Chain A
């Protein structure tokens, strides 16, 4: 019986060792491509580890590259759309806890420019829980000033997506403080409610920071049922930063403040506004390089990278 040059684990110290190395030599190498992908995946994990600060990630990634050397031949990381840099999804019970209406209020933390390495789209968006409601969102497209978009899930093809330019939004850019810092915000309320039996309406409002008045800027009425509004899929995400690149670094703070929802019951009465809680929503972070700056669970948060 061969002897090991190290002690076996205590709970297995009585077990004999059999040398089977010859038996296992027949395994084929997984291949250069498989190896490269394995290594790239590890690099991606280091580059986007949400529990490391950006400078720590940069150090770890550099150390990893130094360890492998130039022969590793790592390619630049490519874009993966539909990721969640950071944000919260409604849990199933809360997501469907309305009967004739649901409304979302939130203050979108949105610097003029995304900063950092953003070269594609990047959204700060949310649904109000309804499957045929609207997403009223901030959209970045590379290093340009943000635009404000309304995507209406109740409209037909080619008619769902409206975009408002930065210049139109001057009165709606406000400043709010949180955790000792000032953030530029756009204050949004979007509602979906039954107007008459069998008919629902989507509405979007922005708060005019210069007059402190709500501006009613969008509405669309359409036939639907409660079953339509609580169908699976759209309506499950609360405030999120939605990504279109694989890894982000150097971006300005973004996020959500004072996220609140209200529900309308079967009798048509709106309930009180209430801040989004940990029992109503769950976090999702897809290791895209973003780091949480603070979270007031789960209604206010900012991230950077």
Chain B
């Protein structure tokens, strides 16, 4: 995997692994649903897309939204 990473724009390849420090718990499902709903609205209102383009683009997001809606929130 190391060899697959892109070089950084400054040409360096050094980094510090802070993933443990940033290991946040997932946010609540309502936030996730709102995020996805907003993306659907973003695509639905894109003036560059045809109705067919929009339908195709929104379908997977709608499926993700339905997934999110079906699963109950885990306890805090």
Contacts and interface: CB of A to CB of B under 8 A. Distances in A.
A82 B8 CA distance: 31
B67 A156 contact: yes
Interface in A96-117: 101, 103, 105
Nearest to A164: B24
A161 B26 CA distance: 5
A159 B27 CA distance: 8
Interface stretch (A47-55, A68-76, A228-236): A228-236
Interface string A65-97: 000000000000000111110000100000000
Contact of A244 (B1, B38, B60, B67): B38
Interface string A198-218: 000101010010010111111
Contacts of A203: 5
Contact of B6 (A163, A232, A264): A264
Contact of B9 (A80, A105, A149, A163): A105
B41 A158 contact: no
B15 A205 contact: yes
Nearest to A282: B48
Interface residues of B, number: 50
A301 B56 CA distance: 31
A216 B22 CA distance: 9
Given A158-B71, A191-B6, A242 B42 contact: yes
Contacts of B25: 162
A163 B37 contact: no
Contacts of B43: 233, 236
B68 A162 contact: no
A157 interface: yes
A242 B8 CA distance: 27
B28 to A, nearest CB: 8
Interface string A140-159: 00000000010100001111
A256 interface: no
A261 to B, nearest CB: 10
Given A89-B48, A157-B67, A158-B32, A163 B27 contact: yes
B54 to A, nearest CB: 9
Interface string A210-254: 010111111100000000000111101100001010000000000
Interface of B: 1, 4-9, 12, 14-19, 21-22, 24-27, 29, 31-32, 34-35, 37-48, 53, 56-58, 60-61, 64, 67-68, 70-71, 73-74
Interface of A: 80-84, 89, 101, 103, 105, 121, 123, 131, 149, 151, 156-164, 168, 189, 191, 193-195, 201, 203, 205, 208, 211, 213-219, 231-234, 236-237, 242, 244, 260, 262, 264, 268, 270, 273, 282, 284, 286
Given A81-B38, A151-B32, 8 more contacts: A89-B48, A105-B9, A161-B31, A195-B4, A232-B53, A244-B38, A270-B7, A284-B46
